[in-house]
Structure 1
């Protein structure tokens, strides 16, 4: 009688793109065995010297593997090196397999492609280790299809870093309530604190809330923000629909309630992180810049504005552009200079006004590559196009923000340029979910294109 498979005992074969996506991914499989084919190491070796962002991730993965396997003998590497001493969350084993010795006939796929060799490894182990569940883990959709077609029973995407299963589940930063909110309230304690009015209502009115989440109802008169809650009560800051719609920043008046909520968050000095999501043309960059100018020049709350963004293939592109770092960044940050011109289009000389404001507000254009190691104090940092950053890259930037610094992250998850990110694995999605219950942050999805009717039609129909 053959061995009976134990599905609780798993063996994971990792594809190269998993380690490029998360260099420490081999530590994410808890008590199970992780297998890395020799082909994966060869691909990492080829990628590490490329002049692209992904080469850094390849080098990190190689160093991480070396740290674990440095003292292991060849016999130990084949049998599996214990990972329990590396991290407390992982008690499994790591094995390097020489997949070049396996016969191509196992999979029936041509043997001259790296993807086929990795699939072949998983199929060979599936036949050899019938007592365990062999799983190929890859972020390549086509490779998953080929593996299934070749006879591999279990193929998975790498989802350890995904906080949500579908982008539709991502919090928008606000809730729209049915009917009249106050018609449902039977008990309420109100208090006045300066110009602000706070209401404490029963928690049973709302199923699930987050700190700094906005609440709107169908009447068009009620608008509030959750400032605190416990198991029994929710404390709301009464914003007033007319009042929030009447607020402006640097001459910009909100065109819809979503922009009004964004301005409210951006101008709040108690919020250290504001995340703006939404389609192209909804006003993310314009609002961020207008509120930054308001806080720096009009209110004098910050000393400078630092603008940065991800620059695709930055290692190749930025080096060949002439001039200083800021001059090299100008083509990438044209959206900022365009927005400055819009804010001053009615001036007698818009270009002179733009240059004057850039100097007065001390607006600095910085490459994201040079943010590492800095400590930014008393500044507003605008991180544009943040949907193209990984969670670790965003962590690097957020941890640069020192005392008195406000970070504004904006991005459109429908416009991801990276081949290694999807809307659910983007760093922007990651920080929206991680910070949604942080007292010092707020998220607003600007639902609605206001750039032009052409842009609005294109967003809805293309």
Structure 2
């Protein structure tokens, strides 16, 4: 049996995760049980982020099936081709699972998940010429489907760019021992303070632009500034020079922070992605660099601070005050970092208020970013492991001329019910932007908050 004869039965969470998912199955048959439509209907009126996705999914289905007769909807309506190589159109059908009779071996129909699984079981039995696949992001439902007798149960993976989080690019390559001992062919050219080396790409076969190169002996630090065919151009930054970076009185505590600060202070880099464990300095470095670039150097006009707030749609309206005051509980990480930066001052609160006014720091909710165009600002997006790829796209496309975006997050601290480390928007943009000349990713490897935090990160 080949892949050309497959029926995909979609669970509700697939359409919540990606409302147009039913278009992604090429020439195959897509079946949506009536129970899924009922669940979308109950979700669309809730005051949660997913209610918007439910409404988009319902409208997309309605647009596809608008002109079809009831018989055609049950039999399958042709879908538009998504790729040029596709020869046959796929089809979309609605299946009335409420009319299914309880058969021996089927699950009780008192739960929505069970009714969807029963639909797949019925199709598997009645359409034996076809491969029937239940597609769901719910791990427990995949287990139940297998246990009930489904031959094929899959996760929806079109937005998953890596199979294992350990394969995610870290933004740097660390060489054991001395870097220069491993270089065989190199041409160097000095221009002013910096030296550029042309090296064989075989040294790093999977090299991407703006990746850093460091070694264990702490003798070399460089950055890949060009990759073509079998050669790569490496800018020699100097280990000591990288560790000597300074932003708003903050110096790097390790080489990873040094690489991050180098990227944050580089006006030619429009997107900086900082990943790493809790306490590695992501927020503090981003804020210190933002203040340095706005107040001291005048490169940008203002700092916009925003972050994912999963429950904000429900609760922000009940909080008193302006948008900035409503956002304060969610942005305490920023005010904590401001306190750290000014704890030596005679009047810390006075300094903080002065700096917030001087740097024009604005607290904004991700929910209110849609439709904006942000010019000449540095945007700090914290906790973005909880955002989907679509939400991150919404924010990145808001950035206009002269704007720098800093995305930071910890993939081990995802709070969303709908995301995993592999499907998080943070993982998605790290992979998508790894060969974009205007972006840099740095994985801040190592906890600098405290020995307590470091022990917890390593052992809990």
Structure 1: which 5+ residue stretches go unaligned?
A: none
Residue 198 of structure 2 is matched in structure 1 by 200
Q: What does residue 369 of structure 2 align with?
A: 371
Describe how 1:215-254 pairs up with structure 2 within 5 A: 215-254=213-252
Q: Select 1:25's aligned residue among 10, 21, 32.
A: 21
State the Cα deviation string for residues 265-294 of structure 1 (Å, max 9, x = none). Answer: 000111000000001110000000000000
- Choose which of 317, 331, 334 in structure 2 pairs with 1:333: 331
Q: Which of 95, 98, 101 is the aligned partner of 1:100? A: 98
Alignment partners' CA distance in 2, 1:171 and 1:103: 50
Partner of 2:80: 84
- 8 Å contact 2:306–2:381 — kept in the other structure? yes
Distance in 2 of aligned mates of 1:253 and 1:57: 43
Q: Cα offset for 1:165?
A: 0.7
| Aligned mate of 2:410, from 404, 409, 412 | 412
Which residue number in structure 2 is paired with residue 380 of structure 1?
A: 378
SS state at 1:451 partner: coil
Q: Which residue of 1 aligns with 2:9?
A: 13
Q: Following TM superposition, where does structure 1 have runs of at least 4 consecutive aligned residues deviating by more than 4 angstroms?
A: 85-90
- Given the alignment, which residue of 338, 357, 360 partners 1:359? 357
CA deviation profile, 1:16-39 (whole Å, cap 9, x unmatched): 011111111111111111000000
3-state SS, counterpart of residue 416 of structure 1: coil
Q: 1:189 aligns with which of 181, 187, 190?
A: 187
Aligned equivalent of 1:164: 162
1:429 to 415, 427, 430: 427
CA contact 2:24–2:82 (8 Å) conserved in 1 = no
SS in 1 for 2:169: coil
- Is the 8 Å Cα contact of residues 6 and 131 (structure 1) preserved in structure 2? no
Cα contact 1:107–1:120 (8 A) shared by 2: no
Q: 2:59 corresponds to which residue? A: 63
Work out the CA distance in 2 between the residues paired with 1:330 and 1:242. 38
Give the distance between the partners of 1:88 and 1:178, measured in 2 at CA: 46
Secondary structure of the structure 2 residue equivalent to 1:380: strand
Deviations 1:179-229 (A, max 9, x none): 322223233222233332211111122221111111112221111111101
TM-score by length of 1: 0.97
Deviations, residues 32-56 of structure 1 (Å, cap 9, x unaligned): 1100000000000000000001101
CA separation of 1:93/1:453 partners in 2, compared to 1, >3 Å: closer, same or farther? Answer: same
Deviation for aligned residue 1:124: 0.2
8 Å CA contact 1:107, 1:119 repeated in 2: no
- C-alpha contact (below 8 Å) 1:52/1:313 kept by paired residues: yes
- What SS does the aligned partner of 1:356 have? helix
Which of 250, 257, 279 matches 1:281? 279
The match for 1:306 is 304
Superposed, 1:396-407 pairs within 5 Å as: 396-407=394-405
Counterpart residue number, 1:50:
46
Query: How far, CA to CA, are the matches of 2:83 and 2:67 in structure 1?
Result: 17
Distance 1:87 1:202, change over 3 A: closer
Greater mean alpha carbon deviation, residues 391-400 or residues 182-191? 182-191
What secondary structure sits across from 1:315 in the alignment? helix
CA distance in 1, matches of 2:313, 2:158: 29
SS of the equivalent of 1:172 reads coil
What is the total number of aligned residue pairs between the two structures? 458
Relative to structure 1, the CA distance from residue 106 to residue 303 in structure 2 (aligned partners, 3 Å threshold; closer, same or farther) is farther
Q: Which runs of 5+ in 2 are unaligned?
A: none
Using the size of structure 2 for normalisation, the TM-score is 0.98
Task: Write the distance in 2 (CA, Å) between the matches of 1:450 and 1:144.
Answer: 40
Alpha-carbon distance change, 329 to 252 in structure 1, aligned in 2, over 3 angstroms: same
| Residue matched to 2:176 | 178
Q: Please give the secondary structure, in 2, of the residue aligned with 1:105.
A: coil
Partners of 1:200 and 1:98 lie apart in 2 by 64
Secondary structure of the structure 1 residue equivalent to 2:229: coil
Deviates more, 1:102-111 or 1:130-139: 102-111
Report if the CA contact (8 A) 2:242-2:262 is conserved.
yes
